Chains A and B, each alone.
Chain A
């Protein structure tokens, strides 16, 4: 299996801050990397697919970048509704997820 490692595991931040979450794959996955947001008690929600493509309906403050083994999810100006857990997921081979990054209110 391809291992996905996210950092940090959690972060405390404030509304309006710029937030960056990184995801590293254990081998080259090209651009087969997706990002999801999950709020407590809710199903995950697709934010970014193919490393940098914004899913329809997702606010433009979310963006993704990277290729190969290193990827980034950026939230340009954190909003109250963005406090959640974020997961990266590769689909280059049998899909696997990162362990998640919990974004909390400072």
Chain B
């Protein structure tokens, strides 16, 4: 089955670090961009950035550049999103999504179920 499986919910304190994961299966993981999308409670969708696991080419939204790090380990078909120092404003659901290239753009055809990150003192 083609799927993206995300790591479980996390509860952290402000200032702590965190790395969440997204494991692809059922398709050639290195052949598609994988991206991350944030959804704050009761809000809309925000694109954070992407990585091409084949060569680790990484791109960030200007809104998230410097705030998070996206990485991947192609040997285990897994992408990661990490924070070095969490803030309360990082409270959100985080989705990974497979990006399919079309022309100069992408569409997101396969999504993980999401990882809920709760940051609270």
A positions within 8 Å CB-CB of B: 1, 30, 32, 34, 36, 38, 42-46, 49-50, 55, 87, 89-92, 94-100
Contact = CB atoms under 8 A, between A and B. Distances in A.
5 nearest interchain CB pairs? A91-B105, A49-B107, A43-B111, A95-B47, A32-B105
Interface of B: 37, 44-47, 61-62, 95, 97, 100, 102-109, 111-114
A55 B106 contact: no
Contacts of B97: 44
Contacts of B114: 43
Given A1-B62, A49-B102, A96-B47, A43 B112 contact: yes
A32 B103 CA distance: 8
B95 A43 contact: yes
Contacts of A96: 47
B7 to A, nearest CB: 15
B108 A46 contact: yes
